[in-house]
A and B are shown apart, each in its own frame.
Chain A
Amino acid sequence: MNNSPEEEIEAADITLSKKATLPLVWFLPLIALLVSAWLIFKSESEKGVVITINFPTAEGLEVDKTKIRYLDVEVGKVTAISINEDLKTIRVTAQMTSTATEFLKKTTSFWVVRPQVGLGGVSGLGTLLSGPYIELRPGMGEDQRHFGGLKAPPVMKSNVDGKQFMLETSNLGSMRPGTVVNFHGIPVGEVLSHKLSDDANSIRLSIFINSPYDQFVRKNTRFWIDSGVDLSASADGFKVRTGPLISLLSGGIAFRASPKDTPAEAQAENTLFQLYETYDQSTQITYTNTLKYVMHFNGSVRGLTIGAPVQLRGIPIGKVTDISLELDKKTAEIRVPVIVELEPDRIESVNDDAKVSDKDVMKQLIKKGLRAQLQTGSLVTGQLLIDLDFHPGSKIVANDEHDHHSDYNEFPTIASSFEEFSRSAQTIMDKVAKLPLDKLTIEMNKTLASLQDTSKAATGMLITANGTLSTAKETLGNASGTIKSAQGVLGNLEPGSTGYYEFHKMLQELTQAASSMKQLTDYLEQHPESLIRGKDEE
Chain B
Amino acid sequence: MLLKPLKTALTQGFMRCHDCGCLIKSKTETLCPVCGHPVSARKPHSIQRTVALIISALCLYVPANIFPIMSVTQLGIAETHTIVGGIATLIQSDMIPIALLVLVASILVPLMKLLGLTMLLLCVHYRWQVNARLFTQLYRIIAFVGRWSMLDIFMISILVALVDLGGVAQVIAGSAATAFAGVVVLTMFAAKSFDPRLLWDHQISNE
Q: Which residues of A contact B (CB under 8 A)?
A: 1, 3, 7-8, 10-11, 14-15, 17, 20, 23, 25-26, 28-29, 31-33, 35-36, 39-40, 43, 64-65, 126, 129-131
Contacts and interface: CB of A to CB of B under 8 A. Distances in A.
Contact of B179 (A8, A36, A64): A36
Nearest to B27: A10
Q: Which 9 A-B pairs have the closest CB atoms?
A: A130-B76, A32-B56, A29-B55, A32-B59, A29-B56, A129-B75, A25-B52, A39-B63, A36-B63
A441 to B, nearest CB: 105
Nearest to B40: A14
B11 A3 contact: yes
Contacts of B13: 3, 7, 10-11
B83 interface: no
Chain B: interface residue count, which band? 35 or more
B79 interface: yes
Interface in B9-53: 10-13, 27-29, 40-42, 44-45, 48-49, 52-53
A29 B63 contact: no
Interface of B: 5, 7, 10-13, 27-29, 40-42, 44-45, 48-49, 52-53, 55-57, 59-60, 62-63, 66-67, 75-77, 79, 167, 175, 179, 182, 186, 198, 201
A28 B58 CA distance: 11
A129 B74 CA distance: 9
A25 B186 contact: no
Contact of B49 (A23, A32, A33): A23
B60 A32 contact: yes
A7 B10 CA distance: 9
A32 B79 contact: no
A8 B8 CA distance: 11
Contacts of A43: 67
A35 B179 CA distance: 9
Contacts of A26: 48, 52
B60 A23 contact: no
16 contacts: A8-B11, A11-B11, A11-B41, A23-B45, A25-B48, A25-B52, A26-B48, A28-B53, A29-B53, A29-B55, A36-B62, A39-B63, A40-B63, A129-B75, A130-B75, A131-B76
Scoring A23, A25, A36 by chain B CB atoms within 10 A of each residue's CB, the highest score goes to A36
Contacts of B49: 23, 25
Given A7-B13, A14-B10, A33 B59 contact: yes
B59 A36 contact: yes
B9 to A, nearest CB: 10
B41 A14 contact: yes
Contacts of B76: 126, 129-131
A119 to B, nearest CB: 26
Contact of A65 (B11, B42, B79): B79
A7 B53 contact: no
Scoring A11, A23, A130 by chain B CB atoms within 10 A of each residue's CB, the highest score goes to A11
A133 to B, nearest CB: 10
A29 B27 CA distance: 33
Scoring A23, A32, A131 by chain B CB atoms within 10 A of each residue's CB, the highest score goes to A32
A20 B79 contact: no
Given A25-B53, A28-B53, A39-B179, A3 B60 contact: no
Contacts of A8: 11
Contacts of B182: 32, 35
A130 B77 contact: yes
B75 A32 contact: no
Contacts of B179: 35-36, 39
Contacts of B11: 3, 7-8, 11
A10 to B, nearest CB: 5
Contacts of A39: 63, 67, 175, 179
Contacts of B77: 65, 130-131
A29 B59 contact: yes
A7 B182 CA distance: 43
Nearest to B59: A32
A35 B10 contact: no
A129 B5 CA distance: 73
A131 B75 CA distance: 9
